[in-house]
Amino acid sequence: MPLRTPLRRAAFASLAMIAWLPLSGCSTSQLVARGASPLIDHGVAAMNRETDLELARASIPANLKMIEALLLADPGNAAYRVQAALGFYGYALGFVESSDPDRAAALYLRARDHALVALDRAGVTQATITGDTAGWEQALARLDAHAVPALFWTASAWAKWIELQLDDPARLAELPRVEALMQRALALDEAYYHGGAHVFFGVYYGGRAPMFGGDFARAARHFDRAAALGQNQLLWVEVYRARYLLRQMGDRAAFHATLNRVLDAPASADPDLNLANVLARKQAAELLAQEEDLF
């Protein structure tokens, strides 16, 4: 009897598990996909800590396809949608945009579409985004901090897609919706992704002349706040300050000095910024090489 009791309990546990599976609404493939979440998180962390650009360039596409394979099994997984959006955005920005803008635009659109699914899960459907202003504003107002990743990556990818199509009036007409998404992300969590919403608005207000809605003082405040939130560890803040604000202001001396500070900056104390900062230094060098043409 003592030997049979544990076996009986195990049998009941197994039967209970089998009975639970159909009731849970999850297929076996969904359960397997969700079980891979720690592996995906570790994979993202390992990629963020990479310092070899060629290794990162070669590895990222396979990682992205793995996430999309998991999404075939679990298409409503908001966390994987955010990871996919972040990944496609980062790959396009770091490795594609400077050499193939058209392909980068397609990748940014793909990133936005992944993020839109996560935003839908948070309570803002794509129909709402393109609907009337009152419904749109009410939907955004109902969101809490859990929606910040979906808001941030939808707006970030959407904005980059628009930036690469500035000659299309239809794309420009979408900017107020993008701004509203990022304003809500900023209000809910200004520190998310190293103060990324502040970087967004630094670019948004700094990359245009005042007659077209730019505001250089406002842009500088956003860049300063992002730098403070990130303790000056994320070099992209200064690269974007130079690329958008200082260039638009025509301040060549500050542009030159800022990008050289990026190149001379010591390695970050945060290893999770390794890849981002190597890419920022790469873009700083490219911008300095173009300085004569930019001014």
Are 171 and 165 in contact, with CB atoms under 8 Å apart?
yes
The mean pLDDT value for 71-93 works out to 94
Residue 203 contacts by C-beta under 8 Å, 6 or more apart in sequence?
Answer: 219, 240, 244, 245
Q: Is pLDDT at 115 greater than 90 in this prediction?
A: yes
Q: Is pLDDT at 23 greater than 80 in this prediction?
A: no
Q: What span, in angstroms and rounded, lies between the C-alpha atoms of 86 and 114? A: 9
DSSP 246-266: IHHHT-HHHHHHHHHHHHHPP
Q: Is pLDDT at 1 greater than 50 in this prediction?
A: no
Residue 106 contacts by C-beta under 8 Å, 6 or more apart in sequence?
Answer: none
What's the start-to-end Cα distance of the chain, in Å?
88
243-274 pLDDT, tens digit per residue, is 999 999 999 999 999 999 999 999 888 999 99
Are 235 and 280 in contact, with CB atoms under 8 Å apart?
yes
Q: What span, in angstroms and rounded, lies between the C-alpha atoms of 227 and 240? A: 11
The secondary structure of residue 26, as a DSSP letter, is -
Q: Please tell me the pTM assigned to this model.
A: 0.87
What are residue 213's phi and psi, to 5 degrees?
100, 0
Q: Is pLDDT at 189 greater than 80 in this prediction?
A: yes
The mean pLDDT value for 142-147 works out to 96
37-46 pLDDT, tens digit per residue, is 677 777 788 8
Q: Is pLDDT at 26 greater than 90 in this prediction?
A: no
Q: Residue 110, Cβ neighbours under 10 Å: how many? A: 21
117-144 pLDDT, tens digit per residue, is 999 999 998 888 887 778 888 999 999 9
- pLDDT at site 170: 87
**Helix 175-188 and helix 133-142: axis angle, to 10°?**
20
Question: To the nearest whole percent, how much of the chain has pLDDT over 90?
Answer: 74
Nearest Cα residue to 240 out of 199, 279, 195: 199
Question: To the nearest whole percent, how much of the chain has pLDDT over 70?
Answer: 87
Residue 292 contacts by C-beta under 8 Å, 6 or more apart in sequence?
Answer: none
The mean pLDDT value of the chain amounts to: 88
Tokens encoding 203: 């670019």
- pLDDT at site 33: 59
Q: Of 31-35, 73-77, 96-100, which range is least confident?
A: 31-35
Q: Is pLDDT at 19 greater than 60 in this prediction?
A: no
83-104 pLDDT, tens digit per residue, is 999 999 999 999 999 999 999 9
Are 75 and 117 in contact, with CB atoms under 8 Å apart?
yes
Q: What span, in angstroms and rounded, lies between the C-alpha atoms of 283 and 286? A: 5
